[in-house]
Amino acid sequence: MDAYRALEKRFTRLSAVNDAIGILDWDSQTMMPAGAAAGRAEQTATLRVIAHELLTDPHLGDQLGEAETTGGLEPWQAANLREMRRLYLHATAVPADLVDAASRTASACEMAWRSAKPASDFDGLRPLLQAVLDTQREIAAAKAAALGCGPYDALLDAYEPAGRSAEIAAVFDDLAIFLVDFLPRVLDYQASRPAVLPLSGPFDLEAQRQLGLLAMRAIGFDFQRGRLDVSLHPFCGGAEQDVRLTTRYEEDNFTRALMGVMHETGHALYEQGRPETWRGQPVGAARGMAMHESQSLIVEMQAGRGRAFLGFLAPVAAATFGGAGPAWTADNLARIFTQVRRSLIRVDADEVTYPAHVILRFRLEKAMIEGDLALADLPGAWNDGMAALLGVVPPDHRRGCLQDIHWPGGAWGYFPTYTLGAMIAAQLFDTAQGAEPDLVASLGRGDFSPLRRWLERHVHAQGSFYPTPALLTEATGRPLDVAVFKRHLERRYLDA
């Protein structure tokens, strides 16, 4: 057990370093004065080097080998060792010079993208984006050799451990066929109903903040181990025992900030609910980005936009902002939160159209990594995919293939986790309703505790003990089932 105990100590140190990076990153996006940027970059870069050295130390490979052959581990320790090995393979598979090249090309491309996007200048960005794609292909090849999988799956594994694109493609193809037929049906149904009544602002920003805090308390956020702040883009970050989340406020629309708070609180509950006895160890970490996204969407989409909770929220929101009349009824609020449109922009898309955006990006990035799509042909392929999946064609690259930061920033293999998370959320919520008969009624009282307790037992407290498919099967009694997500969409958007 000596080798295993040494590994636990090493990963406890690594966790502490990563927690420090998390707090520094949060501060840089919320409170840090602009003049501190250069110093902060040096601080975080130094800590990241330390973290990388902890994972690539040659002694670590020897300790892993010894611990794996010695045996005698408890089940959670064996799972912990499995996760240690995966992190080690990712860290050591890529040569240091390629890591450096990937970081530099992504930084340069991301900075150029900030100017190229508003100018719709794909041709100007293309040489830098090609450099990013080339380095990602090299990384994919190196990791594929170490992990024993295909190149795209090697990149996917960093975000969704053991995820396999062939399985995802089959699920996404099924869902895409459904969505192409479902979207016009929903649009026709909504057009046949009376017009949605708008909510008139302005909406006081402090009142919005208080409403968000009320929602966080209802959901069960622990303010002794976290806080809410403001940033340009909402996110959940911080440290293992100090979860920081942010939102942004708009004076003319309180619904975006509120749903942003609920979304990030779902992420935060997962972080706050991770098993205390496994703290600082890989087995205690959240189980990949698909499961993490499911936790934000089960709070925001499944519960937060459901009729029961909106019945509670409507009078509270009206009192908060001094609203009155038919626009502030639960029915109208529900229709506001479930409006469907053929959208060009992923981040503004609704629950029905969002998966189509993700499916398109998954198909395109996989084709580019595997050499089946040249970068020069991306705009045309993008527009063709938008026309086929959503019935719209972007009029320019700004609203087309340049809209996301992921590819310029080097995040290839991330996109599918968004829609996998939505499907997992629907399946978890469906099972939780059956297991907790008072769940929906409690949401109608603004009480998330039955849902939260169920998630704590079946998801949060499990950490990374199970791979994602096994975790979902343990929680719901079956593997991922796209039919559950389809039924959820049909009930919400056609039976309302």
Burial of residue 371 (CB within 10 Å: 0-12, 13-18, 19+) is: exposed
SS3 assignment, position 247: strand
As a whole number of angstroms, the distance between CA 304 and CA 438 comes to 16
Tokens 């598979």 locate to 93
DSSP notation for 316-369: HHHHHHT--SGGGSHHHHHHHHT-----S-GGG--TTTHHHHHHHHHHHHHHHH
| Backbone angles phi and psi of 236, in degrees to 5 | -120, 125
Q: Decide: helix, strand or coil at residue 274.
A: coil
CB 282 within 8 A of CB 80: yes
Give yes or no for a contact between 422 and 293, defined as CB atoms under 8 angstroms apart.
yes
Is 300 among the catalytic positions?
Answer: no
State how far the Cα of 196 lies from the Cα of 422, in Å rounded to an integer: 26
Residue of 8, 160, 240, 264 with catalytic role: 264
Q: How far is CA 260 from CA 102, 269, 311, 345, 348, in A?
A: 31, 14, 19, 17, 12
Give the Å distances, CA to CA, from 99 to 50, 52, 96.
15, 11, 5
Catalytic residues: 264
